[in-house]
Structure 1
């Protein structure tokens, strides 16, 4: 690979050798190397014994008020949503004005309460102002930026969510890139990040998400595509979180669960939504699979893969809300890399009458609706979709509540929000473990948290809230949401319920 612009070949080779960068044979010469397939149940515990740091926290983020979401001083994206050790990753960076920059790579976890460990520091590299992509068909904004940094993922990088902290010289402007390092080892738990939804809500560079048709600010119809080949702009809903610049929704709803699981040494390995789409065989290597946060956008293939996984005996936990709601087709990038473009084509369960009449009339144009999501999850997204409330116990004798001291009618204040699931499906053995009212500007609703048995002594649990992980941990930089209702933060009852859930999933 040629050295970056304005960097001489000797300096580039020195950096490449020190950092384990991809060889100069070229970016198309990646060596595919699989992670270990054997179980290694203490891997996360050993990883978190390594020294952590809070240097990963961005402190100097500047969002352009004209675009509302992007940070043109420095921004970038990764070539993969998830990647194995031995495979090559490229980071594509733009700086405006052109300034040299550094890249520090951190693995997210517990690490003595610091939240991350630095695994690499690279640079400095020359920056340049890379072009905004043209508006393509279906309003697609797909960057084709030149790679700024390239590296081969080292064999000793443990599966997890990794953020790259980009920082310019001079003013020291900062932003993130984010990717998953995955492996193929057997583990107790598969932690699936909800990055299809990160992509769907990403408005970078201004108004270009799945919700933008060029006319309405919030459009809910077909004929719009979004690409992973662009930076993540600042999150566009609920509240102002500068740490979301470059990191999607990872730090908003998902990181507290990973932080808590790794604190307790859970045998967990990480995958992307795209892995669930492209690698159904990989689902067989775990005892339990977890959806977290805002897991709204799924392909029909993802749904079919998870239905089969339940039939095969996998335990599922939807610690999430508004999950499996929008049907997306997943396309390769313009240069042929799989899983880089998503396109909303339908609604799981088909559009509801209330949605068509009271907020989302464009749903009537869908041509590829999916099966009802409740047939997999046990409950579903129902109108008014948004809202909040208390998570209220209805089955105190169920094993989920063991050790919590909860009685029927006891609630965890504010834990339900800001989107949820209700209307439980008629599945043999299904139980409603928690239920109650929700309130929002659109009206009132009723959420239901459910569980039902699978065919091989397995189960599917649905917490029915995006905010479940707010009751588990408060990592560095974490901000509690506040809309419709406000969760109260760490709650020992939520921690105990989650422990009971994970213990049952792994057969303890």
Structure 2
């Protein structure tokens, strides 16, 4: 690849995004070892988050895709890209897709539901007829904010009433079978008071958009982490966007960064028959989640960006007796605001100034007087809710060292005190901060205390926390990125983490 194109790999996001979990042929596509080579001859699994230290590219030759497999669309030519429009989708309802095709060609949409399905990882639900594709107008750019809210609707999916709630992926393929892309969307649970699933899975769509650099074209795209300079070089956080739009495709393959963490949990939980309802962080913000209907809310993946309504809803849920399960690290770190799009559609713009300066009154301004958009700077550290909070990045994966192994969470795992679970501290890590107040609790235990090296070479400690609130609700925080992958990701599973997670969920479903 030429130097100009190579500059676009610097973020690591693009190397993740352009990989194609459907590119290795038929199901099981989410369980396949498909890889993408970012100009170096090194192979990268589609689910690896390359911006997390310790997640190193695998070595080895890239397998040849089957003959006739569509190549993934890119963000430069945008051969086919799309996104789902706003609105809560339920069985019996509908979801609209807005798609651009360059040059204009017909295309099809195949819809899959994520789940175990006998090890397949997903199930094909339906296919569209041939749809006339058009080249949509260029994305609108205002400052660093990119939006495609002005794109025309391309296809409406009528969701049959018998479809199960869940995480879905729409696969866009050009009629000449040359290019492909993806649109994730969520089908909410039935609005049926007679059926109340024990566990509500909250998918982190707000955090997914914070990382979205669409279009990764070396010119216009921006996320809350990066933007481009005049030469196509990647700029850092201080010059990134402070407002990003939900009304745009995801970069690369169209799958969000870190999406694999949520899919890992879904496949494992559905394999063992847990009764799951589904919602998004955006639903939580909008007041569309009724925690009292469920025994626990599950946050399955990296969930870093939280608005005040999200946090207040979860605090009330805990105080009213609904348990909380956080299966990652660096949760609830940045405080954000959601505002209406130019079209008037509510909650379609994500605002977070991080450490930049913005005009007074901007939706990204945050709490008056705060030095940054950190919840800590707003005098509400994450530990007040989680029991632990973000410490640092992890330079390379290390064992999670189990503590208090007589606790019921570790029952049946066979773990001895101080025994390590290899590779279970990776990406980012949380710990208990003694100088930060703990939430009110009737019981509390730290279930891991794991030494690791941060990116500066300093020794730090990761911790896993569980406490019980006065209401009786439990709050579990894994404190590492590697917990969900240990449930169902090929090459990363650990039976002891699977058993511990089952112990936790079984306790919540019975007593929570």
The answer to whether TM tops 0.5 is yes
What is the SS of the residue equivalent to 1:123?
coil
Once the two structures are superposed, what CA deviation does each residue of 1:372-397 show, in whole Å capped at 9, x if it has no partner?
11111111112457764221101111
Q: Structure 1 residues 81 and 177, CA, compared in 2 at 3 Å: closer, same or farther?
A: farther
Once the two structures are superposed, what CA deviation does each residue of 1:45-101 show, in whole Å capped at 9, x if it has no partner?
xxxxxxx9547889533354xxxx567111110013742234331101111111110
- What is the rounded CA distance, in whole Å, between the counterparts of 1:163 and 1:177 in structure 2? 6
Aligned pair partner of 1:502 in 481, 495, 505: 505
1:230 is aligned to 2:245:
no
- Equivalent residues of 1:454, 1:460 under 8 A apart: yes
Aligned pair partner of 2:337 in 329, 336, 339: 329
What is the SS of the residue equivalent to 1:448?
strand
1:490 is aligned to 2:493:
yes
The equivalent residue for 1:193 is: 203
1:212 is aligned to 2:221:
no
| Counterpart mapping for 1:385-396 below 5 A | 388-396=397-405
- Equivalent residues of 1:98, 1:127 under 8 A apart: yes
Q: Structure 1 residues 222 and 202, CA, compared in 2 at 3 Å: closer, same or farther?
A: closer
- What is the rounded CA distance, in whole Å, between the counterparts of 1:111 and 1:174 in structure 2? 24
The equivalent residue for 1:174 is: 180
The equivalent residue for 1:315 is: 323
- Equivalent residues of 1:329, 1:345 under 8 A apart: no
The equivalent residue for 1:380 is: 389
1:94 is aligned to 2:103:
no
| Counterpart mapping for 1:50-449 below 5 A | 53-54=27-28, 60-64=70-74, 72-80=78-86, 82-183=88-189, 184=191, 185-206=195-216, 207-212=221-226, 217-219=235-237, 224-234=242-252, 245-249=253-257, 251-279=259-287, 281-345=289-353, 364=371, 366=373, 369-370=377-378, 371-384=380-393, 388-424=397-433, 425-427=437-439, 428=441, 429-444=443-458, 445-449=460-464
- What is the rounded CA distance, in whole Å, between the counterparts of 1:284 and 1:154 in structure 2? 27
| Counterpart mapping for 1:15-30 below 5 A | none
Q: Structure 1 residues 180 and 491, CA, compared in 2 at 3 Å: closer, same or farther?
A: same
Question: Once the 2 structures are TM-superposed, how far is the Cα of residue 220 of structure 1 from its aligned partner?
Answer: 5.1
Question: What residue ranges of structure 1 are gaps of 5+ in the alignment?
Answer: 1-51, 235-244, 348-362, 479-487
Normalising by structure 1, what TM-score? 0.76
- Equivalent residues of 1:74, 1:174 under 8 A apart: yes
- Equivalent residues of 1:81, 1:180 under 8 A apart: no
The equivalent residue for 1:458 is: 473
- Equivalent residues of 2:394, 2:425 under 8 A apart: no
- Equivalent residues of 2:242, 2:354 under 8 A apart: no
- What is the rounded CA distance, in whole Å, between the counterparts of 2:149 and 2:288 in structure 1? 29
- What is the rounded CA distance, in whole Å, between the counterparts of 1:113 and 1:71 in structure 2? 35
- Equivalent residues of 1:141, 1:208 under 8 A apart: no
Question: Once the 2 structures are TM-superposed, how far is the Cα of residue 345 of structure 1 from its aligned partner?
Answer: 4.1
- Equivalent residues of 1:81, 1:272 under 8 A apart: no
How big is the alpha-carbon RMSD for the aligned residues of Structure 1 and Structure 2? 2.5
- Equivalent residues of 1:254, 1:292 under 8 A apart: yes
Question: Larger deviation: 304-313 or 450-459?
Answer: 450-459
- Equivalent residues of 2:112, 2:122 under 8 A apart: yes
Normalising by structure 2, what TM-score? 0.76
- What is the rounded CA distance, in whole Å, between the counterparts of 1:174 and 1:71 in structure 2? 13
- Equivalent residues of 1:79, 1:91 under 8 A apart: yes
- What is the rounded CA distance, in whole Å, between the counterparts of 1:296 and 1:367 in structure 2? 10
The equivalent residue for 1:36 is: none
Question: Larger deviation: 247-256 or 456-465?
Answer: 247-256
- What is the rounded CA distance, in whole Å, between the counterparts of 1:70 and 1:411 in structure 2? 45
Question: Once the 2 structures are TM-superposed, how far is the Cα of residue 490 of structure 1 from its aligned partner?
Answer: 1.1
- Equivalent residues of 1:85, 1:157 under 8 A apart: yes
- What is the rounded CA distance, in whole Å, between the counterparts of 1:378 and 1:204 in structure 2? 35
- What is the rounded CA distance, in whole Å, between the counterparts of 2:426 and 2:404 in structure 1? 21
Q: Structure 1 residues 198 and 439, CA, compared in 2 at 3 Å: closer, same or farther?
A: same
- What is the rounded CA distance, in whole Å, between the counterparts of 2:149 and 2:454 in structure 1? 37
- What is the rounded CA distance, in whole Å, between the counterparts of 1:104 and 1:430 in structure 2? 47
Question: Once the 2 structures are TM-superposed, how far is the Cα of residue 284 of structure 1 from its aligned partner?
Answer: 1.7
- What is the rounded CA distance, in whole Å, between the counterparts of 2:290 and 2:396 in structure 1? 35
